[in-house]
A and B are shown apart, each in its own frame.
Chain A
Amino acid sequence: SAVISQKPSRDICQRGTSLTIQCQVDSQVTMMFWYRQQPGQSLTLIATANQGSEATYESGFVIDKFPISRPNLTFSTLTVSNMSPEDSSIYLCSVETRKSSYEQYFGPGTRLTVT
């Protein structure tokens, strides 16, 4: 499996500000994904980030709020814009490998608290 790192691992931010989360992979991957996991809940897909094209957002998530960059095959960023306390969550990136069955591997996550 790929080795995935995320920065920052956690942050406490003021409402109205923005935070950019970085995701770095140790090998080239085509598909990267961004998820949100709110306290005590399961994972919700925010968007799919495919290198060389615009990110594809899921229902309920918009580019103005969660802009994503995917400049190459090993790196992606997710920005959480104009934050409110409701954005407090864990944000996870994942990468898809296609060795056999499209399995995804997750980074360690970024724990965001908005005050």
Chain B
Amino acid sequence: QKEVEQNSGPLSVPEGAIASLNCTYSDRGSQSFFWYRQYSGKSPELIMFIYSNGDKEDGRFTAQLNKASQYVSLLIRDSQPSDSATYLCAVLMFSGGYNKLIFGAGTRLAVHP
């Protein structure tokens, strides 16, 4: 079982719709969760992090965390073509004396006009 799992997509949504990106993780002890956006040919950019159960909103982005179900999601409201990118879910795990991020494979989002 992979430590962090995401649907690779592509997830195609029309402009103005809500895009829902999902991620599950295997380590029940994980406490912090991150969403990165990566445009083609660019490095990952941190857009959200969450460590408490429930929702966290930042502009058009909402991160949702359910530790009991080991599930974290990212909602993008009013999706724009500029949101088209790969979204990487990352989970902070403590291993070998350090905290380290374990990344999922990423979900490719395509927002079409």
Contact = CB atoms under 8 A, between A and B. Distances in A.
B77 to A, nearest CB: 23
Contact of A56 (B32, B42, B96, B103): B96
Contacts of B46: 1, 103-105
Interface size grouping (class) on chain B: 20 to 34
Given A101-B49, A102-B92, A109 B43 contact: yes
A105 to B, nearest CB: 6
Given A48-B100, A101-B51, A104-B101, A43 B34 contact: no
A31 B32 CA distance: 17
A33 interface: yes
Interface string A80-108: 00000000000010001000111111111
Contacts of B104: 42
B103 A42 contact: yes
SS class, residues of chain A in contact with chain B: strand
B88 interface: yes
Interface string B87-102: 0100010001111111
Given A31-B98, A41-B105, A56-B97, A103 B49 contact: yes
Interface of B: 32, 34, 42-46, 49, 51, 88, 92, 96-106
Given A106-B43, A106-B45, 6 more contacts: A31-B98, A42-B105, A43-B88, A48-B100, A56-B98, A92-B44
11 contacts: A33-B100, A42-B88, A42-B103, A42-B106, A56-B96, A56-B97, A96-B99, A101-B49, A103-B46, A103-B49, A108-B42
